């Protein structure tokens, strides 16, 4: 790893390449062991260079945004984590079109849309992820999803070239896109919104914020909804009906406030969360015959995976 660290440091400069960086600092679960190398590129060109070097050196790499949908194992990650976050977060507005770099937070983009009197993005204002992560996940809430407003994305392909792909080619579905299968990295995206009344946009965002505060355990670290919504059901309701409200493994707990969330009560390990996910899945299946699938992405090694 020393070789790759030196190569990357020479490319992007001191302070941008960290070694043995605890992933608990970069995930909203506040969980995760060390990444061998943690790279924070300042520009799209730097991101491309890092990927090219990793590929040439056959070093595994993984891209993250705000780590708000991520469970990283206690052993961490053997390779290079590439973080596209606030460092790559330019936003420009042209009429009803917003062009946004991957690292911009959805909340910031929503605020900018409001400032320009643009409607259609209110649904995403409270999702604590980056535009890159949200496009990959086709993130959605309160009846809206990225698919509704996304026009095209610019991605870095496996060959380290930047390409623009129309939204229709991304196979956007429920918390799914074709991006991970293709091994693409989202560099930015273009969204089409509509002219709206700033008062109404602001009121809708506030209404949704209050709904989140009322229903979600925002005072404890989590990765949002732990499980996908099984067709025809709600994961949280199934978990509650299986008698699992407050069910714990170590410091990982099915939230008392919202059973669809697993929360970190303080010192939860990734293994605690992982075992809890398995146990909840098994018990919900026994109780209702429905198979839950994690929405949270798992990175690294977990026991009996
Ligand atoms: C309190 C809370 C509430 C939440 N509410 C919602 C909600 O209402 N709706 C919802 O959909 N989600 C919700 N989430 C989950 C999460 O915020 C979203 O999935 C979000 O889109 C993830 O963005 P991120 O930048 O944090 O991605 P990360 O967690 O960093 O990454 C998620 C996945 O995307 C990939 N990825 C990230 N950036 C890129 C990129 N630039 N290029 C390629 N791949 C990339 C990663 O490799 C990983 O597989 C919530 C989470 C929390 C903690």
R_g (Cα) of the chain, nearest Å: 19
Distance (Å) of CA 47 to CA 5, 105, 107, 174, 255: 15, 18, 23, 28, 37
- On whether residue 7 sits in a domain, the answer given is yes
- The pLDDT of residue 1: 74
**Is 72's C-beta closer than 6 angstroms to any atom of ligand 1?**
no
Domain annotation covers residue 305: no
Listed residues 201, 236, 253: the one ending a domain: 201
Q: Where are the beta strands (DSSP E) in the chain?
A: 17-22, 34-39, 61-64, 70-72, 77-83, 91-94, 97-101, 118-119, 140-141, 144-145, 150-156, 162-166, 185-192, 194-195, 222-225, 248-249, 252-254, 261-264, 297-299
- Domain end (from 35, 56, 83): 83
Give DSSP secondary structure letters for 80-147. EEEE-SGGG--EEEETTEEEEETTSBHHHHHHHHHHTTEES-GGGTT--SBHHHHHHHT-EETTEEHH
Q: Which residues are catalytic?
A: 175, 225, 295
Cα 238 to chain centroid distance, Å, stands at 24
Q: Is 292 left (phi over 0), alpha (psi -120 to 50) or beta?
A: beta
- At residue 284, the pLDDT reads 98
What averages of pLDDT result for each successive group of 10 residues across the chain (305 residues)? 88 91 98 97 92 94 98 98 94 98 98 98 98 97 97 90 95 96 96 98 98 98 97 97 98 98 98 98 98 97 78
Q: CA 175 to CA 206: how far, in whole Å?
A: 24
- Whether 193 is in the pocket of ligand 1, judged by its Cβ within 6 Å, is no
Task: Note whether 42 and 93 are same-domain residues.
Answer: no
| Per-residue confidence (pLDDT) for residue 304, from 0 to 100 | 66
CB 116 within 8 A of CB 127: no
CATH number where 172 lies: 3.30.465.10
Domain of 74, CATH number, reads 3.30.43.10
Q: Which atom of ligand 1 is nearest to the CA of 175?
A: 11
Decide whether any atom of ligand 1 lies within 6 Å of the 24 Cβ: no
For residue 142, what pLDDT is reported? 96
Q: 56 with 136, same domain? A: no
The contacts of residue 6 (CB under 8 Å, 6+ apart) are none
Helix (H) or strand (E) holding 200: helix 198-215
Give 77 Cα–ligand 1 centroid separation in angstroms: 18
How far apart CA 224 and CA 11 sit, in angstroms, is 35
Closest protein CA for atom 35 of ligand 1: 133
Which residue range is the domain that position 59 belongs to?
Answer: 2-83
Give 295 Cα–ligand 1 centroid separation in angstroms: 10
Q: Is 80 in the pocket of ligand 1 (CB under 6 A)?
A: no
**For the chain, how many structural domains are there in total?**
3
- Which atom from ligand 1 is nearest to the alpha carbon of 62? 47
Q: Is residue 139 lining ligand 1, measured as CB closer than 6 Å?
A: yes
Give the position, in ligand 1's atom list, of the atom nearest the Cα of 139: 11
104 lies in the same domain as 190? yes
Judge contact between 138 and 186, C-beta under 8 A: no
Q: Cα 17 to chain center, whole Å?
A: 21
And the tokens for 48? 């491309």
Atom of ligand 1 nearest to the CA of 68: 26
| Cβ of 89 less than 6 Å from ligand 1 | no
207 part of a folded domain: no
Q: Is the dihedral of CA 22, 25, 26, 31 positive or negative?
A: positive
């Amino acid at each position: 790893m020393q070789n790759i660290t030196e190569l990357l440091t020479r490319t992007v400069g001191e302070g941008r390449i960290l070694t043995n960086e605890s992933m608990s600092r970069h995930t909203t679960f506040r969980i995760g062991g060390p990444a061998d190398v943690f790279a924070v590129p300042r520009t799209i060109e730097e991101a491309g260079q890092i990927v090219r070097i990793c590929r040439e050196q056959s070093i595994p790499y993984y891209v993250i945004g705000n780590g708000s949908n991520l469970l990283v194992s206690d052993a961490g990650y053997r390779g290079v984590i590439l973080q596209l976050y606030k460092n790559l977060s330019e936003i420009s507005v042209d009429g009803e079109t917003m062009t946004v770099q991957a690292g911009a937070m959805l909340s910031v983009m929503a605020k900018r849309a409001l400032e320009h009197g643009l409607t259609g993005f209110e649904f995403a204002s409270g999702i604590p992820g980056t535009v890159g992560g949200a496009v990959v996940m086709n993130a959605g809430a309160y009846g809206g999803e990225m698919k509704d407003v996304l026009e095209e994305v610019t991605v870095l392909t496996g060959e380290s070239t930047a390409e623009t792909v129309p939204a229709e080619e991304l196979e956007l579905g429920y918390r799914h896109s074709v991006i991970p299968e293709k091994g693409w990295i989202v560099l930015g995206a273009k969204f089409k919104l509509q002219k709206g009344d700033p008062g109404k946009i602001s009121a809708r965002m506030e209404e949704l914020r209050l709904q989140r505060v009322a229903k979600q355990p925002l005072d404890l670290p989590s990765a949002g909804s732990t499980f996908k919504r099984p067709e025809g059901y709600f994961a949280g309701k199934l978990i509650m009906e299986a008698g699992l409200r407050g069910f714990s493994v170590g410091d990982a707990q099915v939230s008392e406030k919202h059973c669809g969330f697993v929360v970190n009560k303080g010192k939860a390990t990734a293994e605690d969360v992982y075992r809890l996910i398995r146990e909840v899945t098994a018990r919900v299946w026994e109780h209702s015959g429905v198979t839950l699938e994690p929405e949270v992405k798992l990175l690294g090694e977990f026991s009996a995976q």
